[in-house]
Amino acid sequence: MTGPIADEGAPIVVVGGGLAAGTAVTTLREQGYAGPLVVLAAERELPYERPPLSKGYLMGKAPAEKALVHDAAWYAEHDVEVRTGTRVTAIDPAGHTVTVDGRALSYAKALLATGAEPRRLALADDAGVPLTYLRTLADATALKDQLRPGRRIGVVGGGWIGLEVAAAAREAGSEVVVLEMAAQPLLGVLGEEVGRIFADLHRGRGVDLRTGVSIGTIRAGASGGALIGLSDGASIEVDHLVVGVGVVPVTDLAEAAGLVVDNGIRTDARLRTSAPDLYAAGDVANADHPVLGRPVRTEHWDTAIQHGRVAAANLLGGDAVADALPYFFTDQYDLGMEYVGSPGPAGFDRVEITGDVAALRFRATWLRREGSEGRERVVAAMHVNDWDAIDEIRSTVGTLR
Ligand code: FAD
């Protein structure tokens, strides 16, 4: 088979400047790659981690620099050219080039780590009200100013981002209302029983959590905020709105380049896309998962790290496989949690909770019935504030009982 010929003197190019990109370049240098290495990053910042944006940084407990993968000196010392504020506008897999500032840049191999971006809520956008979609450091910096005593914060969506923002806002003394369409927050991920624990946690901290509600209208309020009309007839006025209704993978470049895209850029377990010498990693990659036996796209900090490492190894001609089980964590008030696994489209049949829920120290195990012999498979497990539990929990996921 004759494929496009790569210019071996050309750099490895990483498109995107998040954690997957930062981890990939770190691994490339750690594994001895001494050739030219370029990161093209649309944001103005050096690659950074996002979890602090809804936790320590948002609460003013940690400076922005702590979120950086490396400081500028590291990239200089390791001869990594990071072009921040630089958006790639096209990829030509046949010609082995990416387009930046209207000019083609050749690559020997390239990694697409373009991440995800917030799903927009047209009702809120069209209303022209004070609004944050929390994704970038700039978003977090703007939102931080809003979180102060007496300020009324409205959060649309009771998912991870919405709940973490609600916790940060309450700790800053703001009044918080969370609007969630489902019967419990996090219902889709955790199910009814564990979702209720999170609901109780937030209500116990003074959050006005309204479940089973949808938004009918959003209008500019008289005092400069937002006036929200709910499906149940209620109306709420807030000073600032935060919308956390999920993210979508940033696949525009890949689609235009003709790569296979389906809920993210499709890759095999080695993170190879459908085009030669082009890999994808992190939130944007929908990768075959050899353990789970299906394609999996996560929006997790740990996946960005694992994928960054695997992609780097394979960019160097290795044979690494992205087989880590999905891992996620959250911090809300004094609840710290780690979760491993992925029930996937088949879901789970029941959840087992052990420990002391009231004291916020417990474990939960999600189980799915399998076969006709009444056996159950552990499809996910988590602990709350049980910090020695993670290895044990991880080892149970996938086992049959
Ligand atoms: P991203 O971080 O999205 O980075 C992609 C980068 O590529 C972006 O900077 C983007 O601007 C850039 N880019 C896109 N297109 C182009 C282009 N054409 N040219 C150049 N650059 C481009 N996960 C957890 O597991 N636990 C948590 O507690 C947690 N908290 C979070 C809190 C917040 C507020 C957010 C937003 C996310 C959180 N996450 C958490 C998710 C985690 O941060 C993501 O999974 C992770 O950031 C994914 O990294 P990534 O490198 O794949 O993508």
Number of domains forming the structure of the chain: 3
pLDDT for res 279? 98
Looking at the DSSP bridge assignments, the partners of residue 249 are: 116
Strand, helix or coil for residue 376: strand
267 in contact with ligand 1, CB cutoff 6 A: no
Q: Residue 86 maps to which CATH number?
A: 3.50.50.60
- Among 287, 315, 343, the domain boundary falls at 315
Residue 15 C-alpha to ligand 1 middle, in angstroms? Answer: 13
The answer on 233 and 124 residing in a single domain is: yes
Distance CA 304, CA 1 (A): 33
Distance CA 275, CA 96 (A): 10
The answer on 253 and 197 residing in a single domain is: no
Residue 124, judged by CB atoms within 10 A of its CB (0-12, 13-18, 19+), counts as buried
Nearest residue by C-alpha to atom 27 in ligand 1: 51
Q: Which of 301, 329, 330, 337 to mutate to test the pocket of ligand 1 (most atoms within 8 A of CB)?
A: 301
Q: Which of 114, 161, 331 to mutate to test the pocket of ligand 1 (most atoms within 8 A of CB)?
A: 114
Classify 115 in phi/psi space as left (phi over 0), alpha (psi -120 to 50) or beta. left
- Among 224, 243, 262, the domain boundary falls at 243
Residues in contact with 60: Cβ distance below 8 Å, sequence separation at least 6, in sequence order = 144, 172
The answer on 371 and 289 residing in a single domain is: no
Q: Please state, rounded to an integer, the average pLDDT across all residues of the chain.
A: 96
Spans of the chain below 70 pLDDT: 1-8
Nearest residue by C-alpha to atom 12 in ligand 1: 16
393 in contact with ligand 1, CB cutoff 6 A: no
Looking at the DSSP bridge assignments, the partners of residue 272 are: 279
Residue 349 C-alpha to ligand 1 middle, in angstroms? Answer: 32
pLDDT for res 4? 52
The answer on 133 and 111 residing in a single domain is: no
Residue 116 C-alpha to ligand 1 middle, in angstroms? Answer: 6
Domain that holds residue 380: 334-396
The answer on 359 and 261 residing in a single domain is: no
Model's pTM, two decimal places? 0.96
pLDDT for res 2? 40
The answer on 131 and 208 residing in a single domain is: yes
